Structure 1
Amino acid sequence: MTDSSFLQLLRLLSDGQYHSGRELGESLAVSRTAVWKQLHKLDELGLLLESNRGRGYRLPGGLELLDAESIEREAEWPGLSVTVEPVVDSTNARLMAVAAQSDNGALCLAEQQSAGRGRRGRPWVSPFGRNLYMSMLWQFDGGAGVLEGLSLAVGVCVAESLESLGFSGVSLKWPNDILVEGEKLAGVLLEMTGDPAGVCQVVIGVGVNLSMPPDAAGKIDQPWVDLQQLAQRQGLSPVSRNQLAGKIAGALARMLSSFAVEGFGRWREPWLARAAFLGEAVNLHTVSQVRQGRFAGVNGSGALLLDTDHGQEAVYGGEVSVRPVS
């Protein structure tokens, strides 16, 4: 059975209903033995398969697989090129490998990442078919200088997309995290290739927790939340992965299309309105030291402003982490 046939098998089971081995075999034009062998692969993906003698097999609760056409429709951005992969090392890595040959708006999504990364090289837990792993590519002509504050603008796009679905309490932690009530919901990772002083390509990676399985949750080393929990807390309907992916993709494309002209200035106030720890005492962790001060927001370039006993300092990124003083 080919990879495409295996995906077709997943689509048949994604409705959460029972399907007999005979039915699956006829739909895929393969033997029941071949179906049985492929069903064992589901365990490797961390998917719970339930079998019942006389009724067949099912994925309890079903599974919403990503669909490129649905995402394109929801994004409402002409020219968006959507690729959905079953399993990749990382969506960022896939786009970085073809950045010079790809057009603006190339979007790569995956059901699972085998080597997903967050900031500072941390692994991004990526169970199959449960969360959102996506990356978009965009070319800029002005080099790295025009990218100041871009990761913060991306955070605003993600927050606004979540708010459009009814979620409240979304905050942005400088420079790349999306939080709700102090728990991490999503993250952003930007990577650049090309000429730092001329034409360069930027890959914007976004990961959002939607429905984290318990076994995967145990691998996360910080307070976190997913949209399934939030929807229950806030009395909202379950979230569609395809709808959210499309909303974020459309918001990113609209922002990126004008960012080289508008810069971060257009996004500074929306970011500050959602800033986590604004006005609070924070510890600023770098590779070599920890500094304490009051988080005073960000300047027009997206740099963090820290009020200290020695005056106000502007911090422009790098290996920096902001944490509230406990």
Structure 2
Amino acid sequence: MVQIKSAESKALSQIRPLLLLLADGRVHSGEFLGEALGVSRAAVWKQLQKLEQLGLVVESVKGRGYQLPGGLDLLDAETISSHLSAEAKPLLQQLQVHDQVDSTNARVLSALEAGRGHGQVVLAEQQTAGRGRRGRSWASPFGAGVSVSLGWQFQGGVQLLEGLSLAVGVALARALAVFDVPDVRLKWPNDVWCQGRKLAGVLLELSGDLTDRCAVVVGIGLNMRLPAAAAGTIDQPWIDLEQVRPGISRNRLVAEMLNQLLPLLDTYPAGGFAPWREPWQALDQFAGAEVCLQSAQQRWCGIERGVDKSGALLLETDGDLRTFHGGEISLRPASGGA
């Protein structure tokens, strides 16, 4: 039976009632807010300033009150669960929604290392130490995207998980297709792009015996409504979902992501990457393009020729087809890319 849990951090528990009142995006007077919360207008003012400390923009409308422009679509565990498919729901063991955590991946990884965590999903309105690939940080402003991690245990060793990050990308593309998000593509090995810019990233972390019983955390960060202040910290071309398909419910999107990802994790050891190879290549952002791959030791440039049966990148260089299992690719400068 699935456990559903919404968890408020101590720091945010006092201001969450105010957040819920302002989430509709309308203007509310200080008097109304005070009465609704059972506090003085001075106390309302103090709480409003705490919201701004979260990076939320609270506007003061002269003579009328306060509002969060555009409102806030808060995550809700019950709503997400209600939209899960008949196939996905039995696979979900625990669903947690936090106001604020250090890292959703870290929470799930800790559970897996303690012998729990299989089928666990952790979401957060904000991460204070969210991380991406190669030790990078992941921008996670409050309520401005999707930060979700899934835990899954496997028997048979890590070799069963070859290509899993690419399959996850296909699953995310399929979830976005439900909402008619246009021009979604995949960049090897872990990124989801939209209209030529990064929309989401995937981070896999492994735990346990890599030759026998092991576990994986699938971490996903997806941009939805990034504020300008957070956007300024991103060092690559990016896009958020609100720019290309406004008004998508975060809860409905998360549910559809889980509808795709939970069955994927459940069936992946049996079929591996093979059934996902062609769907991934059909969405390959850089298929046939001149690219450069930067690995830990060397930089290679050539023509991107898709991936092999294990999900490794195929790069044609000087007439030879080379295989790469790690690194990052970018368009060659001569092609006008970054």
TM-score (norm 2): 0.89
Corresponding residue to 1:280 among 282, 289, 309: 289
Distance 1:11 1:31 in 2: 18
Per-residue CA shift, 1:285-307, capped at 9, x if unaligned? 11221111221111111111112
1:244 is aligned to 253
Is residue 182–residue 244 contact of structure 2 (8 Å, CA) maintained in 1? Answer: no
Post-superposition CA distance 1:68-119 (Å, at most 9, x none): 1111122322242221111111111111111234343211111111111111
Equivalence for 2:190? 176
The runs of 5 or more residues in structure 1 that have no matched partner are 232-236
SS of structure 2 residue aligned to 1:197: coil
Q: Please give the root-mean-square deviation of Cα atoms over the aligned residues, in Å.
A: 1.7
CA positional deviation for 1:44: 0.6
Shift of 1:308: 2.0
AA aligned opposite 1:251:
Q
**Amino acid of the structure 2 residue aligned with 1:78:** K
1:4 has 2:13 as partner: yes
1:87 aligns with 2:94: no
For residues 178 and 303 of structure 2, the distance between their equivalents in structure 1, rounded to whole angstroms, comes to: 31
Q: Distance in 1 between matches of 2:32 and 2:107?
A: 36
Mapping 1:168-247, distance limit 5 Å: 168-231=182-245, 237-247=246-256
Using structure 1 for the length normalisation, give the TM-score.
Answer: 0.93
Moved beyond 6 Å, runs of 4+: none
User: Which piece of structure 1 moves more, 288-297 or 60-69?
Assistant: 288-297
Contact conserved, 1:282 with 1:295, CA < 8 A, in 2?
Answer: yes
Q: Secondary structure, in 3 states, of the residue corresponding to 1:75?
A: coil
Aligned mate of 1:71, from 80, 85, 90 = 80
8-17 or 307-316, which deviates more = 307-316
Deviates further, 255-264 or 177-186: 177-186
Indicate the residue corresponding to 2:164 in structure 1.
Answer: 150
Tell me, in whole angstroms, the C-alpha distance in 1 between the residues paired with 2:121 and 2:109. 12
Match of 1:113 in 2: 127
Given that 1:75 and 1:248 are in contact with CA atoms closer than 8 Å, whether structure 2 keeps it comes out as no
- CA drift of 1:160 comes to 0.7
**Per-residue deviation, residues 253-308 of structure 1 (Å, max 9, x unmatched):** 01111001111111111101101111222111112211112211111111111122
1:98 is paired with a residue of what secondary structure? helix
| Partner secondary structure for residue 124 of structure 1 | coil
Aligned to 1:234: none
Contact 2:105 2:218 in 1 (8 A): yes
* Residue type at the aligned position of 2:135: G
- Paired residue secondary structure (1:37): helix
**1:323, 1:3 → 2: CA distance?**
40
Alignment match, 1:98: 111
The residue number in structure 1 matching 2:4 is none
Unaligned runs of 5+ residues in structure 2 are 1-9
Matched residues, percent identical?
A: 50
